Amino acid sequence: MGSRGRRAVLLGGLGLVAAGAVAGREEIERAWWLLPGVSKPREEGALDHAGASWSAASPANWRLADRPADHRIDRIVVHVTQGGFASSVEAFQNPWHKASAHYIVRQDGHVEQMVRELDVAFHAGSRSMNERSVGIEHEGFVTRPQDFTDAMYAASARLAADVCRRYGIPADREHIIGHSEVPGADHTDPGPHWDWTRYLRLVGELLR
């Protein structure tokens, strides 16, 4: 092997070592945020999305975390409530419900935040997906296409684009998924009437 070849191997090896060191430092930092008693400062009722209002979900329906420092956020999960807005808010505030989402989008475009994005909402039926995702519920029923209004699509797209921008999430079908697409899920939402093409187009336009 000539000197040029040895130099390339050496530089390549140093690059791998440097990449490994960066990855190792990131894992150490994440491990620190997972330690008991370590927590980011937070304010009761603070909003992550400027267009939302706040109603707190029961602490029994979500888990305290320090995302994205402890768990990377790289997915958005789209849900449909299978009920009305008020009953969905009440369900997430009921400690026996054992489920919640970060947001509920009403048919008129109103957005209600119920769990901070820092924290892990119990929305996807999968611990690993819950830890890595933001859950967005939409008022309505999967069998009623009329429930998915123009105002709802527009408000949800603004919210999703905001989440994508803050965490560097690509606005595509790999990273914005339906509840039914979560591995092991037994749910069917958002169902066949949810217009994915329209939704992703709206999100993409807002990110340009």
Residue-level pLDDT, tens digit, the chain, 208 residues: 544 444 444 444 444 444 455 556 777 777 766 666 667 888 878 999 998 999 999 999 999 999 999 999 999 999 999 999 999 999 999 999 999 999 999 999 999 999 999 999 999 999 999 999 999 999 999 999 999 999 999 999 999 999 999 999 999 999 999 999 999 999 999 999 999 999 999 999 999 9
pLDDT for position 17:
41
The sheet with strand 176-178 has its strands ordered as 52-54, 111-113, 103-105, 133-138, 75-78, 176-178
Nearest to 155 by CA among 189, 201, 110: 110
CA distance 143 to 106: 17
Nearest to 101 by CA among 206, 17, 191, 179: 179
CA distance 101 to 204: 23
pLDDT for position 50:
95
pLDDT for position 96:
97
Give the CA distances from residue 163 to residues 103, 153, 167, 205, in Å, rounded to whole numbers and listed in that order: 11, 15, 6, 14
Phi-psi region of 18 (alpha: psi -120 to 50; beta: other; left: phi over 0): alpha
User: 8 is written with which tokens?
Assistant: 């390339």
Tokens 């830890």 belong to residue = 131
User: 73 is written with which tokens?
Assistant: 């956020």
DSSP state at residue 140: B
